[in-house]
Amino acid sequence: MALKVRMLMRRLLAATVIVVAVLTLIYADHPAQSGLRNATVLIIRHAEKPTEGTVLNARGEERARAYVDYFNPLKLDGQTLTPERLIAAGDSPVSSRSRLTLTPLAERLGLSVEQPYINGDAHELVKLLRKSNQAPTILIAWHHGHINHLIQAFGGDSTALMGQKKWPDEVYDWLIVLRFDEEGHLIKARSRKVQEHLLPGDAEDPPGNR
């Protein structure tokens, strides 16, 4: 009887090892990226700010309103995209501008503006999206000083996309488009920067190409 029990335990142990090995291989091939499978991530800077205060200035409010038609829908590369998930950097004592930039669009689309992480937690946000996102098109409004970290967290090269490592202080009219393949990996060849041309005075060409 004891011999049979030992043999059964060995078989169970061997089966467990095989199952763990198979699951490990599956996870290695798809490293927590299913949430970005075939997704498009759109990144903007929050709209214009006043000299002092936590909100948008008049031009920033105008840009936020203009985003309602710009993103509903966004026509890009022969595709029509409408954000199904809106994410903003968390409010802080010095700024609620990311949320305010998306609020008019959120009201039009009937979506909430999610704020799961503060400005410096770009990597945590990307982890969350890789793990649990189900929206094919995600729009993120962030603070310009950290957008390069956000791009890098998604697997991108901010210098290649923007022509410089960091988003310029004076620029509010860029849109970063990140495309992901069926395994959730960034397609660098299909990711790019777009000039919005939303408001009078928006640049016709990126700085450095004017």
CATH number at residue 122: 3.40.50.1240
Q: Are residues 62 and 111 in the same domain?
A: yes
In a domain, residue 210? The reply is no
Measure the CA–CA gap between 139 and 147, rounded to whole angstroms. Answer: 13
Least confident of 15-19, 53-57, 102-106, 176-180: 15-19
- The beta-strand segments (E) located in 37-107 are 40-45, 74-76, 79-81, 85-88
CB 89 within 8 A of CB 115: yes
Say yes or no: 14 and 110 in one domain. Answer: no
**Does residue 92 share a domain with residue 14?**
no
The CA distance from 149 to 166, in Å, is 9
Quote the pLDDT of residue 34: 80
Residue 178 sits in which domain range? Answer: 34-195
In tens, the pLDDT along 25-47 reads 444 344 455 899 999 999 999 99
Q: Does residue 208 fall inside a structural domain? A: no
- pLDDT digits 0-9 by tens, 130-144: 999 999 999 999 999
5 and 64 part of one domain: no
Task: State the pLDDT at residue 11.
Answer: 63
pTM score of the predicted model:
0.83
When divided into structural domains, the chain yields a total of 2
Residues 149 and 84 in one domain: yes
